[in-house]
Amino acid sequence: MNAHEFLKPDGWLGVSGGPRYVQLKRRLEEGISSGVLPADSSLPPEREIAELTDLSRVTVRKAIQELVKDGSIEQRQGSGSFVRKGLPRLEQSLSHLTSFTEDMRRRGLETTSTWLERGIVLPSPEEFVALGLAAGDSVARIHRLREAGGQPMALERAVLPLDILPNPAQVDQSLYLVLEHNGHRPVRAIQKISAINLARTEADLLAVAEGTAGLSITRTSYLESGRVAELTKSVYRGDAYDFVAELRLSY
């Protein structure tokens, strides 16, 4: 079946199925997941979809824009809308305190980082409180775009007290590896995860459209002694990650 046949409104478009742009969006999603609309293929132009479905161009545009926001369609200047090559979704366990490098290596993916900042700076008021610093203390800050298998996956901005990471330039590949060598590998962490729509700069760095769904994650990690070792704020691509938690019945 080709895209045109698939979009003919036999059965999937009706008065009881909710807003019409949502029905079209759902149909396109089905096409993507079933392979009728394969990765990298172009969608028929808006005008053709409108003719085929008898929907207005405004409705068609709205459905496509929603898919752009979700990250499943991309618009290429001058050549129309294309099905994005899906990233394989990665599962990250919420019960193990692992590093990005370890998570990716376990899946056979090589990691690289693009450095956005690495140095010794004064903390923000939030960092000052979270790290339990004394007045005048500086912190080590590392801000990286993390890539796996050549694909941008996450933006991570970490701050650490200087006695835990005295020389941020030491971090080449893995922060946790350096901390392990220094004898300061965290043993416990609290993570807060929230849904966000990526702002322009974040979206550009992560190579997705502005407004695409993402996950904002704040990790506070602790040493055995109970001291805070790291405060990291990360932005993950929503189309690349599933966070999985194991739950047990508590008595």
Q: Which residues bind ligand 16G (CB under 6 A)?
A: 99-101, 156, 158, 174-177, 217, 219, 230, 232, 234
Write down the least CB distance from residue 166 to ligand 16G, Å: 17
Write down the least CB distance from residue 209 to ligand 16G, Å: 23
Closer by beta carbon to ligand 16G, 23 or else 113 = 113
Closer by beta carbon to ligand 16G, 65 or else 216 = 216
Closer by beta carbon to ligand 16G, 21 or else 241 = 241
**Which residues share a beta bridge with 217?**
193, 234
Q: What are phi and psi of 42, to 5 degrees?
A: -95, 145
Contacts with 101 (C-beta within 8 Å, 6 or more apart), sequence order: 111, 173, 174, 176, 177
Closer by beta carbon to ligand 16G, 41 or else 218 = 218
Alpha-carbon gap, residue 133 to 125, rounded angstroms: 10
CB 77 within 8 A of CB 90: no
Write down the least CB distance from residue 85 to ligand 16G, Å: 23
CA atoms within 13 Å, Cβ hemisphere of 60:
17
Alpha-carbon gap, residue 91 to 124, rounded angstroms: 32
Write down the least CB distance from residue 15 to ligand 16G, Å: 44
Contacts with 30 (C-beta within 8 Å, 6 or more apart), sequence order: 12, 36
Write down the least CB distance from residue 204 to ligand 16G, Å: 21
Stated as kind and residue range, the H or E segment containing 229 is strand 228-237
Nearest to 35 by CA among 75, 1, 69: 1
Write down the least CB distance from residue 180 to ligand 16G, Å: 9
Pull the structure tokens for residue 44: 């028929």
Closer by beta carbon to ligand 16G, 58 or else 116 = 116
Closer by beta carbon to ligand 16G, 21 or else 100 = 100
